[in-house]
Amino acid sequence: MKWWAKIKRTGRRVVNRTQRFYSYWQAGKSRNKAFRDKGNPGPNLANLANLGTIRMRARDAIRNAPLAARAIEVDITNMIGTGIVPRFEDRLLTDLWLQWEDECDAAGLYDIYGMQEAAVRAWREAGEAFVRMRWRRLADDLAVPLQLELLEADMLPLIDYPQLANGNRIIQGVEFNRVGRRVAYWFHREHPNESYSTSVNLADLTRVPARDVVHLYEALRPGQVRGVPPMVVGLQRMQQMNDFDESTLERQKQASHFTAFFMRPEPEDPGTDPVTGDPIEGREMADIEPGSGYTLLPGEDVKFPDLPSLGGDYEPFQKISARVLAAGLSMPYELLTGDFSNLSDRTARVLINEYRRRVEQHQWNRIVRQMMRPIKLRFIEAGLLANTIPENTNDAVRWVPPAWPYFHPVQDVQAHVLEVKAGFRSQSDVIHSRGHDPDQVRAERAEEQEADRKAGLTSSTTLVNPDTNTRTAGTLSDRRQATS
């Protein structure tokens, strides 16, 4: 036997031996259905067969399951609140944005912050959402000739075209060029679930350049083209909780149908009522009204059934199920259910802070990065084309999410004061963190101080001027900066 044949044979023997062992018990054979082999599809093949069904079931759960609806509302409230606001360094852009934000919606329903809320709702329900940039004419008399159209995930079909005439390919409705960059999206002209068409081809779709499309979604795997509803991880648990609820409720309803049983002695003559002597024709049923009294015949007795209670297992089961569901949805159980019993103040702070970190990930990595930055770029471009924004304008911007509520207002404000005094933060950064505009706050403070000075009023922000020995408005940090 030649040397290469020996190596090939020995190698096959080694492979066969290693197949008998498993380094991880999860990789072994198991009767538990959770560990049965379900294939190992790629990030897009897994979506191709299941995404439509997952969307349908996730939306149905949000419409009908209270915890699913609550989870969506908690996410939207914390991610968007009143809106993620841009703070431009150039005041001209700020004023222009204030005009445009009320007319940006092509449907005329929302301002820009309402569109943020609607887009995030569509993303959290269906796994993704799209915003199409619609260029307008100068004659439309907009602040900038640009409007936004919000599209559901269903508007982009899950179609694949391996090879187009230009060498590009389409993966699940998204066109990629030869180097793998997104160049276009192929949208339906109308919602596919509100039409009677059953087939899809490119002639029925509209090709929109990728630069004019915002695709809001969370890619869970490298190379994943379309988003998956985050609710999918909890659908089975919610169905189990719903089944348990319905079974318990049905048991209580059936038991409550039987209010009392009237007992009579056993008849000596079968078929004859032992009390009245009349023939027994059937089982008698009588309605018992509230507050009624009944006189029993001699020999009769009444017994009330022991109705089944909810038992000691109902509440623990529901709590454990809700905790598992909350873990899958990446939010605290207390926020999902509103049950804050047996929760200390310190524990609540830890849980809320952990959830806030997750929310901030979504705010910066998806809402700002995927949605608001492209919109801001197109806003600047439209302003330049319309000559409402001069060339070489400084378009630097700071995105400001809504402020988190204080846990302890006095302690939290004192912490901000100490940070500013120690030089760890600036006053502007603190004001930004509270969701306000530092320039506007300073202008309002100056206006109030001038009005107080004219009225001869003093307050806690009024300090003694060491040069004139008079009291002037301002904070302690303002005075220290002025005298240093």
Q: Where are the domains of the chain?
A: 45-230
In Å, how far are 44, 132, 450 from 53, measured between CA atoms? 15, 25, 64
Cα 407 → chain centroid = 23
pLDDT given at position 252: 72
Indicate the pLDDT class of residue 451, thresholds 50, 70 and 90. confident
Weakest-pLDDT range from 12-26, 209-223, 267-281 = 12-26
CB 158 within 8 A of CB 226: yes
Across the strands, what pairs with 261? 303
Specify the DSSP class assigned to residue 404: P
In sequence order, what DSSP letters do the residues of 115-148 get, joined into one string? Answer: HHHHHHHHHHHHSEEEEEEEE--GGG--SSSEEE
Indicate the pLDDT class of residue 261, thresholds 50, 70 and 90. low
∠ CA(422), CA(425), CA(430), 5° rounding? 125
pLDDT exceeds cutoff 70 at 248? yes
The 10 Å Cβ neighbour count of residue 112 is 21
More confident residue, 147 or 15: 147
Contacts of 49 (CB under 8 A, 6+ apart): none
CB 129 within 8 A of CB 151: yes
CB 319 within 8 A of CB 67: no
3-state DSSP percent of the chain in helix, strand and coil, to 5: 50, 15, 40
Question: Could you tell me where the DSSP H helices lie in 273-403?
Answer: 314-328, 333-337, 345-362, 373-385
Overall average pLDDT of the 120-133 stretch: 97
pLDDT given at position 432: 85
pLDDT exceeds cutoff 70 at 382? yes
CA neighbor of 72 nearest in space, from 127, 24, 10: 127
pLDDT exceeds cutoff 90 at 475? no
Burial class of residue 445, CB neighbours in 10 A (0-12, 13-18, 19+): middle
CB 338 within 8 A of CB 291: no
Considering just the CA atoms, what is the radius of gyration of the chain in Å?
34
pLDDT, mean over the chain = 82
The SS3 assignment for 297 reads coil
Weakest-pLDDT range from 95-109, 286-300, 440-454, 460-474 = 460-474
pLDDT exceeds cutoff 60 at 376? yes
Rounded CA-CA distance 439/196 in Å is: 55
In Å, how far are 155, 172, 193, 374 from 198, measured between CA atoms? 14, 17, 10, 34
In Å, how far are 5, 148, 149, 213, 377 from 108, measured between CA atoms? 75, 10, 10, 19, 22
| 149-180: pLDDT as tens digits | 999 999 999 988 888 888 999 999 999 999 99
pLDDT given at position 196: 59
Overall average pLDDT of the 39-55 stretch: 84
> What's the pTM value of the predicted model, to 2 decimals?
0.77
